[in-house]
Every structure is written in structure tokens, then in C-alpha cells.
Chain A
Amino acid sequence: MYNFEFEKPATVADAVAALGAEEAQALGGGQTLIPTLKQRLASPTKLVSLTGIAEMRGVSAAGGVVTIGGGTTHATVAAQAGAYPALAALAGNIGDPAVRNRGTIGGSLANNDPSACYPAAALASGATIVTNTREIAADDYFQGMFTTALDEGEIITGVRFPVPEAANYQKFEQPASRFALVGVFVAKYGAGVRVAVTGASEEGVFRWSEAEQALDHDFRSDALMDLDINPDNMIGDMHGSKAYRAHLVKVLTKRAVAAM
């Protein structure tokens, strides 16, 4: 790991100021960034830790919306987001307990790893990503693998999840990394069903709109029987071929619906 300066501001305003420095990089819980730095895949001159910012931590629920501070750890979400059980369950199954004690929701969403769990929850829930400057709808936020609508130095201060009538997340783990080989989050709202898929596409997390339409029409796993997803844009690697991932998308979507 190349050396860097380290700063741990106590307020969002101070963090924004610190991130104004050339080549500065925000640090959430570090569970992805620190391994990345060790491999010298990134070489910021300054790391600005966001974990000292009290206003960015915590879970609250009111008016059918669960709001989670950007610096909240997966363990805290698992323990405290009971108002949205599928979300709490997802958080409680990321990585392992020690990783969940450090990793944060804001860090995961800012990184937008194509195999991470949280992007599926945020997109399927039509969540709102709140930053220090604006609010971004999940539909506009995810812009492909490791790419988001965030500007340089912009910080995710919180995420608002509208609580659905029912939801379920099915994760098929890549057995070595515990990331999702494919993960499917299905959320049923009064306004319609949303299905978000992580781990599968070269474009990162995406909504499977054909499945949404079929489920809007008939909310049973059998409604997906005749649907197939095109494998062309799927990730193909040593852990699974494109066709295998495409198959998993359908199987996991059916399982999610059946579990709801």
C-alpha cells in the first residue's frame, strides 16, 4: 500500500472540505477500499474517513420509509432495520460478522461493485440516495459497473427506502468471496413490482422489466415460466458462464417470489 495522509472529520461539512484536496478519497468502513489499496489499484494522497461523523450514522423508520445514514454499518442495519425485514436480512448476510461491523451502506453504494448486495436493494426499492448536495433516485444513480451519478467529492449522507408490502432477496453466493454470483431483490409496492438483479450483468445492477410486468399481472413464480433473459450482456468468468448467470437470474427471481 502506498502511503497517504489520513483525516477523520466529525462533520459532513469538514469531510467535504477535506475531500476538496487533490487526489483525496473518501473512506467508509474500508472493507473494499483497504484491500484495493493493498493491491495498489488505487493511490490516493489522502483518505478522509467518514466513520467519525455522527450525523451520518443510524437507522430510523417513519411514515413507511426507512432512512439509513450513509456511514451505518451492515451489522447495524441488520439489527435495526426491522421495519424493512428483507433489507435487514440482506445486510445481515453481507460478508462475515467482522466485515459487517466495519462495512457501510454508503461505501457499498458509492463503490457500486457489480456483485454487491445493497445496489439490488436500493434499485428494487426505488430508494433515494441522499448526498451532501442533492437527492438522487436509485433509477438514475446506478450507471454501470463501479460507476454512479456521484460527483467527485460528493458524499452519500443517507439512503431512504420506501418500505414495500413484501420483499425478498435471494443471493446465490460465489463460495470463495461470498459476494453474489447472482442476487435478485423483488419488492412489491402498491404502484407495482420492482425486480433488481446484481452480480449478473456487465452493466452492473439492473431492473428486469419483463419480470416486473409479468409479476404486476400475476404475482406468482409461475408467471415467470415463459420468460428468459438474454445472456449476451451477462458476466461470464471462471465462476459461471453467461448462460449460467442468465439461468440463475430466473431461478432466483422465482425463488424470491415464492418466498414472499
Chain B
Amino acid sequence: MTQVSMTVNGVAASGDVEGRTLLVSFLRDQLELTGTHVGCDTSQCGACVVHVNGEAVKSCTMLALEAEGAEVSTIEGQAAPDGTLNTIQQAFQDHHGLQCGFCTPGMVMSAAALLKENPKPSEAEIRDYLEGNICRCTGYHNIVKAIMAASGQDVSAIAAE
């Protein structure tokens, strides 16, 4: 066992891990931050997307020890401490961007990464960016719409459905 330390959602976190411990296991099993989901464990679905030093990564395909000293943010750190949803989360709620919600933590974290590098993405750019996030429920339509809305753009052009 090796000690790993990182900052998670602004709070110092550390624990003992094996070499093979995945970042997602450390977050879920040791820090009990179970908002980050494991859909596939094979880098396909994006349910496990978190930010490491500001960049979206698949936490099922990164070792906990690789995140030593990093700033990690997860879905738990997105809402304000009083529970007020952030703009992206609120847009997902307003535009029905989720059904079962399993993919949603990853979708929200990917959306946040997209809007950071591209504050006004086109519909095509949003769809392209979500290539690595799979949703089995929504058909993506309302997710795209929510991200459009979260970026302050008019969503009326995207047909209601």
C-alpha cells in the first residue's frame, strides 16, 4: 500500500491504495463519493468522467497514484454548498437532459470541460465532444439542448422533442 494525496472538490484527501487502484475506486470506495459512476470500466461510456487538474478524464482508466498531488473535481463539487445546482446541472433539469441519470455525472463533467474550452459551442461541436459519453435513455437530444442552454444560447432552433 502506498499513500496517495490529492485535492478533491477543494478539500484535501488522502488514503492508502495499491498500485492497481483506479482513481474511480479511490473516489467511490475510499472517499465515498459515489456520484462518479462506473458504467463500463473499459473507457467507452464516460459515466466516470471527472476533472483532473481541470481536464476531463475517464477515472476508470487512470490509476489513483497517477493523480498524486492533483486537483480533482467530481460531480459532488458542482452544486453550491447549499445545494443550489450550477448552471449546467440546472439546464439538465430544465431541459429534461436525463432520465435514469446514470450517465449524468459524466455528461455534466464533460459539458463543463467543453464549455471551459469553448464557451459557445455549436450543436455539432457539442455532439462531437460527447463522443465518449454514452447515454442509454435520452437519445442525447435533450442533453445537447441543455448544454446549449447552459452556454446561454438560444435552444429554440433545436426542435422540441
Contact = CB atoms under 8 A, between A and B. Distances in A.
B41 A38 contact: yes
A4 B19 contact: yes
Contacts of B110: 97-98
Interface string B61-88: 1110110100000000000000000000
Contacts of B43: 31, 34-35, 99
Contacts of A49: 65-66
Interface in B116-141: 129, 131-133
Contacts of B133: 96
A37 B21 CA distance: 12
A99 B42 CA distance: 12
A151 interface: no
Contact of B131 (A6, A51, A178): A178
Given A3-B18, A38-B42, A98 B63 contact: no
A237 B125 CA distance: 32
Nearest to B59: A98
A241 interface: no
B20 A3 contact: yes
Interface in B13-56: 18-20, 22, 41-43, 46, 49, 55-56
Contacts of B57: 98, 101-102
A41 B145 CA distance: 41
B19 A98 contact: no
Where chain B touches its partner, the secondary structure class is mixed
Contacts of B113: 97
A246 B45 CA distance: 31
B62 A34 contact: yes
B58 A98 contact: yes
B2 interface: yes
A5 B2 CA distance: 9
A35 B42 CA distance: 6
Interface residues of A, number: 25
A35 B19 contact: no
A97 B56 contact: yes
A101 B132 CA distance: 12
A88 to B, nearest CB: 15
Contacts of A95: 132
Contacts of B66: 8, 30, 49, 51
Given A75-B55, A96-B46, A96-B131, A102 B19 contact: no
A82 to B, nearest CB: 16
Contacts of B22: 34
B49 to A, nearest CB: 6
Which residue among A4, A98, A99, A101 has the maximum number of chain B CB atoms within 10 Å of its CB?
A98
Contacts of B131: 96-97, 178
Nearest to B65: A6
Contacts of A31: 43, 61
Contacts of A6: 2, 19, 63, 65
Interface string A64-100: 0000000000010000000000000000000111110
A1 interface: yes
Contacts of B2: 6
A47 interface: yes
A98 B45 CA distance: 11
Contacts of A30: 61-63, 66
Contacts of A96: 46, 131-133
A51 B53 CA distance: 13
> Which 5 A-B pairs have CB atoms at the shortest separation, nearest pair first?
A96-B132, A6-B19, A101-B55, A96-B131, A4-B19
9 contacts: A3-B18, A6-B63, A34-B43, A34-B62, A96-B133, A97-B110, A98-B56, A102-B61, A178-B131
Given A8-B66, A97-B114, A102-B57, 5 more contacts: A2-B20, A34-B63, A95-B132, A99-B61, A101-B56
